[in-house]
Structure 1
């Protein structure tokens, strides 16, 4: 009998998630583009709740992936700063408590809001 789906194991090799008992739904997806002058995105997402949702950012360009921890490009290739609340996700190009001279992220990425249930 064939099985299909996704299985995720933790660092101890134990099954942590199995799509046979875990369902999810993409409730929002879009491009997060900090390559220009946009300082932040405020995304109003119906049904988003940090209690049962996650927001993921995945780079879309090879040049936005750091080659190593010692990559000298620093914050330019860093992941944007994300704040979540019920019904809303705010994505900023740098930490809101950073100084104005702090270099922010310049990545172009795909963002996903995912609701899950067990």
Structure 2
């Protein structure tokens, strides 16, 4: 019998996950656009996602434009290319252009455009 799929092994060489024992479901996907963020007023997106639970779900953000990827650690525009600040709770994800405790007079906010996914996983 031929095997298909992916297997992941831990540092001890033991099988940690394979496609026969691990499944996932995309609960939500969309584009988050911070390109128009400016000044000291943050852009905030609140997504109500039925079935989302931080204990069994992840929220991923993937930049979609080449200019949104920081070219080096010392890049002077690094904050504008940083990942947004994400807060998760049961049924809800909040994505902000800046950390809510940041002093926005001295902090550049993110200006990325990204694809975002809420994914539930189970074993």
Summarize the Cα distance change of 1:103–1:44 in structure 2 as closer, same or farther, 3 Å threshold. Answer: same
The residue matched to 1:63 in structure 2 has which SS? Answer: helix
Instruction: Provide TM-score, normalisation by structure 2.
Output: 0.86
Moved more, 48-57 or 12-21: 12-21
Residue in structure 1 matched with residue 92 of structure 2 by the alignment: 88
CA RMSD of aligned residues (A): 1.8
After superposition, residues 1-118 of structure 1 pair within 5 angstroms as 1-9=1-9, 15-37=15-37, 39-101=43-105, 102-118=107-123
Q: Which has the larger radius of gyration?
A: 2
1:80 and 1:9 map into 2 onto residues whose CA distance is 31
1:12 and 1:64 map into 2 onto residues whose CA distance is 37
Structure 1 gaps, min length 5: none
Structure 2 gaps, min length 5: none
Q: How many residues align?
A: 118
Cα offsets for 1:75-100 (capped at 9, x unmatched): 10000000000000000011000012
The residue matched to 1:82 in structure 2 has which SS? Answer: strand
Summarize the Cα distance change of 1:23–1:62 in structure 2 as closer, same or farther, 3 Å threshold. Answer: same
